[in-house]
Amino acid sequence: MKRTQNANHKKAMAYKEMGDQYQNWSDYEQALECYDEAINIDPTYAEAYDMRGITKALWGRPEEALADFDKAIELSPENSDYYNNRGNAHAELKNYELAMADFSKALSLNSTNALTIYSRGRLYADLGQHQQALADFDRAIELDEKHSASYYHREVMKNKLAGQGIHVPDTDQIIKNAHFTDLFYVNRGIARDYLGNYEAAIADYSKAIMINPTCGGHYYNRGQSHLSAQHYKQALADYTEGIRLYPVASGYLGRGQANFYLKRYQEALSDADKTIELEPYAVDAYILRGKIRFNMEQFEQAIADFDKALEVTPTDAAILENRANAKYKLEKYEEAVADLDKALLIDPKRPNTYLLRSACLTALQRYEKAEADCQAVLKLEPANKTAKIWLQHIKQEQIKYGNKK
């Protein structure tokens, strides 16, 4: 009987290790199938429950992850990592008291676990307790001088306490201490990209690529910074190489955006289609495809894409404006005005939305309301030339046809 149990556990371990590999590749669906099989073979395998919980959390399902962490703790109540992982899931769900209790329990079992101290620091930061957070990040670095995330968040806390806002963290020490330096150049690149320093971000991503030229994610990161800097050809090249190395939805979406800005609409459409095939609920892909189809004068299809995007985010003023623009092109002026009314209720400081509604109202011969929208634009942007020109057009139309309503 014992020999059978050992054989089963070895088989379960093999499935768990396959799951770990799939998780490293961010293929969470395959990873979960492997962990499920490991647990079916050996229902007492605590580590498989833990890894399944981690995978669910990474996949944006922290509530489901809690049950797996509970089971892992039930099977192995002295393992501090399981409490830490459950604490992170609670923190993600904003169950802050439960998260703190789990981190405290983990530290009672292992008081020198830098990862748990770092996790508690993140929780303190979320709670606005910046001094306690800073102390935890300091302690995590003291225990593990190569823990890059702690350097990053320690710098953020210092800036918050100094009232200076978010600045690029001092990552020189991180890079000096790190073994896997490509990841630290990526971290600094992300911070610089966030602050709009795209050229510096591109330089960091280029260093990461020199160190690890087979990582598709590095090309995606650099491609995104190239997009932001309006280097569309370079972005296209980076996303193409990233897709070759690691074909995922975000890569096709980024390449589609680069193709769109380069007016390569057929190629952009293929990329948007592939993104949606891989991620059927990718809102940005439907928005992109809607814009592509609009530029290809496929207005009905563009409206269908904006409809899909609005199913997921019904209060997005920009999508409502895009759909209204397609309806305007089809001379569906009443429907367009309805969309623009909603958009301006959501965000009343959108000059282009007022201008588009003014155009629709002009087509409907509602000149007074059309003029009022132009005045709203000029209140927001006194030098807006389009609004001034359109006002003159409205007056000419009013002289010709009179005011309908």
pLDDT value, residue 357: 97
pLDDT reading at 187 higher than 80: no
Q: In this structure, which amino acid lies at residue 53? A: G
Q: Tell which wins on pLDDT, 405 or 376.
A: 376
For 84-93, write each residue's pLDDT tens digit: 999 999 999 9
pLDDT value, residue 388: 95
In a domain, 371, yes or no: yes
- Region 267-292: mean pLDDT is 95
- Region 302-325: mean pLDDT is 96
For 50-86, write each residue's pLDDT tens digit: 999 999 998 888 999 999 999 999 999 999 999 999 9
Question: Residue 405: which pLDDT band, with cuts at 50, 70 and 90?
Answer: low
pLDDT value, residue 111: 95
Mean residue pLDDT of the chain comes to 90
- Taking Cα atoms as reference points, which of 180, 241, 248, 185 lies closest to residue 214? 241
> How far, rounded to the nearest angstrom, does the alpha carbon of residue 169 sit from its chain's CA centroid?
21
Measured CA to CA, the distance from residue 103 to residue 105 in angstroms comes to 5
Give me the CATH number covering residue 356: 1.25.40.10
Q: Tell me the residue range of the domain where 349 lies.
A: 326-405
Q: Which two tokens mark 279? A: 């991620």
In a domain, 382, yes or no: yes
pLDDT value, residue 9: 83
pLDDT reading at 343 higher than 70: yes
In a domain, 331, yes or no: yes
pLDDT value, residue 171: 52
- Looking at the chain, the whole-number percentage of residues with pLDDT higher than 90 is 69
In a domain, 363, yes or no: yes
pLDDT reading at 3 higher than 70: no
Question: Residue 177: which pLDDT band, with cuts at 50, 70 and 90?
Answer: low
Question: Residue 166: which pLDDT band, with cuts at 50, 70 and 90?
Answer: very low
Measured CA to CA, the distance from residue 261 to residue 292 in angstroms comes to 10
Q: At CA 101, angle to CA 96 and CA 106, rounded to 5?
A: 125
In a domain, 347, yes or no: yes
pLDDT value, residue 159: 74
In a domain, 393, yes or no: yes
- Looking at the chain, the whole-number percentage of residues with pLDDT higher than 70 is 92
Contact 116, 103 (CB under 8 A): yes
- Taking Cα atoms as reference points, which of 35, 41, 38 lies closest to residue 5? 41
Contact 121, 87 (CB under 8 A): no
In a domain, 290, yes or no: no
Only one residue has tokens 């020109």, namely: 389
pLDDT value, residue 184: 73
The helix/strand/coil state of 392 is: helix
Q: Tell which wins on pLDDT, 251 or 25.
A: 251
For 188-232, write each residue's pLDDT tens digit: 788 788 778 899 999 989 999 998 899 899 999 999 999 999 999
For 347-388, write each residue's pLDDT tens digit: 999 999 999 999 999 999 999 999 999 999 999 999 999 999
**How many domains does one find in the chain?**
1
pTM assigned to the model: 0.63
- Region 112-129: mean pLDDT is 94
pLDDT reading at 403 higher than 80: no
Contact 404, 366 (CB under 8 A): yes
pLDDT value, residue 195: 78
For 19-48, write each residue's pLDDT tens digit: 888 888 778 889 999 999 999 999 999 999
Measured CA to CA, the distance from residue 105 to residue 90 in angstroms comes to 14
Only one residue has tokens 């958009």, namely: 343
pLDDT reading at 2 higher than 70: no
Q: Tell which wins on pLDDT, 246 or 164.
A: 246
pLDDT value, residue 174: 52
pLDDT value, residue 164: 52
Alpha-helical runs (H) found in 262-384 = 265-278, 283-295, 299-312, 317-329, 333-346, 351-363, 367-380
In a domain, 185, yes or no: no
Alpha-helical runs (H) found in 76-215 = 80-92, 96-109, 114-126, 130-143, 148-161, 172-177, 181-194, 198-211
